[in-house]
Amino acid sequence: MKVLPYMEISFILEKLILIIIVFAVTMFFALYSTLAERKVAGFIQDRYGPNRAGIFGILQPLADGAKLFSKEEFMPDTPNKVLFTIGPAMAMIVSLLGSAVIPWANKFVIAGVEYIPQVADINIALLYVVAVMSTAIYGIVIGAWASNNKYSLMGGIRAGAQMVSYEVAMGLSLIALVMMTGTFSLREITEQQAGFGWNAFYQPLTLFIFLICSFAECNRTPFDLAECESELVNGHHTEFSSMKMGFYMFSEYVSMFFSSALISILFFGGYNYPGMEWVADNWGGNIANTLAVLTLLGKISFFIFFYMWVRWTIPRFRYDQLMRLGWKMLFPLALFNILLVGVLILIFK
């Protein structure tokens, strides 16, 4: 048996703990997003939203979870029982995968040892993100297909077509960003935006395109045609019950969390906050880093709120409108954006 050297064991252990923490934070955010969604919906409609379970409804997600777990697990008469189970699991796994590359802060130094609060600092993080995001569709399509239900299938087809269409514009908008930053690493992109040099100020058009596409990628209103209640009952998760349904619902919130993180990192400075160096000099690097983590979480929270704000404002697009927006507007706009950024880089660099 080959004995692992000490350094490698400690490295694996460190990463394992980090993975658990990131996983827990992601799940916590997803859990409380369900409450926040209902609260925001309520407040926007001049109501209070759920406020009976605990103060301000703080225990509502636990109650919902207990309810989902205790529900009857119903399996429709389908020849694809295995796929039917894989569908929700896949949706969940894929939306959790993305958070591996999020840089949470600079290096923490504890007892002379450096800890990087990022599960994997890979130099092609942005490519990884795009790849992971485009596989999110498989969970939906597999589940929809295995449901043996026409509504589900229709929802799955819609989701597939929509994601493929918006993937194009999203990738192209990211190309414009990468042309300016010159790197695929999310950590380097974050570090380039130190202070207030947010990419959002340099590339508002890219932000605009990316924002719209990420709404479509998360299957959120106004692009939630996959689970459009008014025509397709509930789209791809019509036939799912109990925790399988919960997984689909949850994976939506997890991917919302992840794309909020991505927007904050790519365009709004990630964990940077004004005065970070001053704090690091006067109060110590670890405190500055803790504040950095909180800053990133704050930015993520804001964008999750933004998702909800949009959801409770805008009605759903019609399917042909969705396709027209994706192919005839965003796609040319993204191409034009690349040209524009290229010209600007030529002039200013």
Partner 1 sequence: MAIENISLSGRKTAVSNKEMTFWERLYFIAIIKGMMITIKHFFSRKVTVQYPEQKREYSPVYRGQHVLMRDEEGRERCTACGLCALACPAEAITMKAAERTKEEMNLYREEKYAAIYEINMLRCIFCGLCEEACPKDAIYLTKSQKHVKPDVTRQSFIYGKDKLVISVEDGKSGKYAGLKPIQNKELN
Residue 4 to residues 8, 11, 12: CA-CA distances in angstroms?
6, 11, 10
Tell me: does residue 46 bind partner 1 (CB under 8 A). Answer: yes
Binding mask 208-227 for partner 1 (x = CB under 8 A): --------------------
Site for partner 1 in 232-271 (CB under 8 A): none
Q: Say whether residue 320 binds partner 1 (CB under 8 A).
A: no
Both structure tokens of 195: 């202070």
Cβ distance to partner 1 smaller for residue 155 or 222: 222
* Segment 285 to 314, residues that bind partner 1, using CB under 8 A: 309-310, 312-314
Stretch that binds partner 1, among 29-37, 45-53, 110-118, 138-146 (CB under 8 A): 45-53
Q: Which residue's CB is nearer to partner 1, number 138 or number 305?
A: 305
Please identify, using beta-carbon distances, which residue of 282 and 321 lies nearer to partner 1.
321
Asked if 43 interacts with partner 1 (CB under 8 A), we say: yes
**Binding to partner 1 by residue 10, rule CB under 8 A?**
no
Which CB atom, from 48 or from 196, has the smaller least distance to partner 1?
48
Establish if 333 lies at the interface with partner 1 (CB under 8 A).
Answer: no
* Contact between 45 and partner 1 per CB under 8 A: yes
Confirm if 126 and 101 have CB atoms less than 8 A apart: no
Helix (H, G, I), strand (E, B) or coil at 134: helix
Within 8 A by CB and 6+ apart from 239, the residues are 74, 76, 78, 84, 147, 148, 149, 152
Beta bridge partners of 148: none
Residue from 9, 10, 11, 47 that binds partner 1 (CB under 8 A)?
Answer: 47
Residue 43: CB minimum distance to partner 1, A? 5
CB 309 within 8 A of CB 211: no
Q: Smallest gap, in angstroms, from Cβ of residue 149 to partner 1?
A: 33
Based on the shown chain and the rule CB under 8 A, indicate whether residue 123 belongs to the binding site for partner 1: no
- Residues 209/334, Cβ–Cβ less than 8 Å: yes
Pairwise CA distance, residues 283 & 277, whole Å: 10
Nearer to partner 1, 40 or 92 (CB): 40
210 vs 221: CA distance, rounded Å: 15
Of 88, 122, 87, residue with least CA distance to 15: 122
**Distance in Å, CB of 176 to partner 1, minimum:** 19
Q: Minimal distance in Å, beta carbon 38 to partner 1? A: 13
Q: How far is the CB of 213 from partner 1 (least distance, A)?
A: 15
Q: Which is nearer to partner 1, 202 or 312 (CB)?
A: 312
Closest CA to 268 of 214, 189, 171, 215: 189
Q: Which range in 27-35, 39-47, 90-98, 235-243 contacts partner 1 by CB under 8 A? A: 39-47
Nearest to 291 by CA among 45, 283, 94: 283
Complex with partner 1: residue 47 or 150, whichever CB lies closer: 47
Q: What residues are paired with 108 via a beta bridge?
A: 115
Residue type at 349? Answer: K
Please say which residue, 53 or 89, places its beta carbon nearer to partner 1.
Answer: 53
Query: H-type helices in 194-241, by residue range?
Result: 199-202, 204-217, 229-232
Residue with tokens 């690493």: 185
User: What are residue 109's DSSP bridge partners?
Assistant: 114
Q: Which is nearer to partner 1, 215 or 273 (CB)?
A: 215
CB of 56 to partner 1, least distance (A): 13
Strand partners, 110: 113
How far apart, in whole angstroms, are the C-alpha atoms of residue 231 and residue 216?
A: 18
Judged by CB under 8 A, the stretch of 18-26, 37-45, 60-68, 253-261 that binds partner 1 is 37-45
- Contact positions vs partner 1 (CB under 8 A): 40, 43-48, 309-310, 312-314
